[in-house]
Every structure is written in C-alpha cells, then in structure tokens.
Amino acid sequence: MMGRNNILISGASSGLGAAMARRFAAMNRNLALCARRTERLDALAAELRSAHPSITVSVRPLDVNDHEAVFETFRAFDTDLAGVDRVIVNAGMGKGAPLGTGHFAANRQTAETNFIAALAQAEAALELFRPRNDGHLVLISSMSAVRGLPRSMNAYAASKAAVSAMGEGLQAEFLRSPIVVSTILPGYIRTELNEKVRDTPMIVGIDKGSQALVRAIEREPRRACVPAWPWRPMDLLMRVMPLRGVAKFG
C-alpha cells in the first residue's frame, strides 16, 4: 500500500465530506475539495490552512451531475496537487418517496446523483490512475445497499446498491493491480441530511462516524461497514433477514 498524500473528496462542503477533510488535514494530507456550495468550501479551506499551514488545500466548485465538469475538475485538481492518489466519491443525496406516489422527480434526482454521478467520478478518477498504475478509489455507499428497502428508502437503497456493485466489479478488474478500490458502507451517522430525523436506532455522532470512516479508508479494504460495531454483524443479519423484517425499514 502506497502512502496517499493527495486526497480528493467530493461533497466536501459539509457533513461527512467536511469531517473527513478535517481528519485528513490533521494527518498532514494535501486536499482537493469540491462541492456546489462554494462559500462553505472557502470557509473550510481557510480553516484547514490556518490550522495546518504545511498542507495544500485546493477547492473548486462542482455539481457532480454536470458530468463534463467532473472530468475537468478532477484533471485540474490533479494538476493542483501534482498528482491525486486517492479519490473519495462522497457526494450524494437522500431524497426519496414511495414509488407511484407522484414524486418521480425526487427519486430520479437521488438515483442520478448517487449512481450516475458516482459513475462519472469513478471514470474521472480511473482516467488519472490507469496511466500511473496506482491510486485508491473510495466509493461511499451505505448500509442501505445491503438489501432493497421499501417506501421512501427504495430509490436511495437501489442507488447505493448500484454503487456497491460497481465497486465490486472494479475490485475484480483490478484484483492484481496496484490500483485499489474500496467500497465503504456507513451506518447511521448524524449529519445535516438527517438531523431532523428522530428516534434513529444505532446512530452515532459525526465525530465518531468520520473517525471510523477515515480509519477504514486508511486500511484500504475492499469493503467495510462503519462503524464496525454494530454494522458488521448487522451486515450479516440483513443478508438473511426475511422480507417481513426488511419491510420494517424505510
């Protein structure tokens, strides 16, 4: 495993993306951060540069659904940092409603952001890594990807399952290559996306959640459920759970 000193994180303006950026900065890693909300990105970059003056922090605006811009931005970051060696595909969306209830636009937006945009980011990252025969691609999936989930979680779970399947296919492709692909499945971590959701079981705060994410990413596993407790045993349980158990989700 090579040292990954130059890390690109999408969806870095808030939530897990920003929290991971802070942790990697404290580890003296150079960062390329992108998101739609440039004012938040600029504030985060200023914070990180002040706290860690020895690192390089490059920021660029990016809507990951602008696929041409994804490729342009990743190439520009590669120049900024003289070679990106880890890309964390983190940008995502949690909108959703039961299918057939008149909310196709929200479900389509979730599917496009979580999978098609992740596909574009994986393509752009691997265009950088293939000529070098090195690099670490990290796909942030979800524990929701383990099974198809009902109601408002349906489109979200399906989109994250697609991300996990893409990751597994890439792992098979690069099995004997120095290029590493990791699929990370976070459980319930409190962020801005779910701060209004109450009574969520087994949820952890963003500090603990981002710490678990960074530790898992640093190990460069093929697949990891985070935090490991309780989500590693839950992973096994969810795989064999009957549909009447699955029906309680969402």
Q: Which residue in 129, 156, 174, 231 is the catalytic one? A: 156
65 burial type by CB count under 10 A (0-12 exposed, 13-18 middle, 19+ buried) = middle
What is d(CA 204, CA 215) in angstroms, rounded to the nearest whole number?
16
What is d(CA 31, CA 59) in angstroms, rounded to the nearest whole number?
8
Active-site residue 156, yes or no?
yes
User: Would you say 80 and 59 are in contact if contact means Cβ atoms under 8 Å apart?
Assistant: no
In the three-class reduction of DSSP (H, G, I as helix; E, B as strand; rest coil), residue 142 is classed as coil
Nearest-CA neighbor of 89 among 58, 121, 66, 44?
121
- The residue to which tokens 């706290």 are assigned: 51
60 forms beta bridges with 34
Show which residues are catalytic. 156
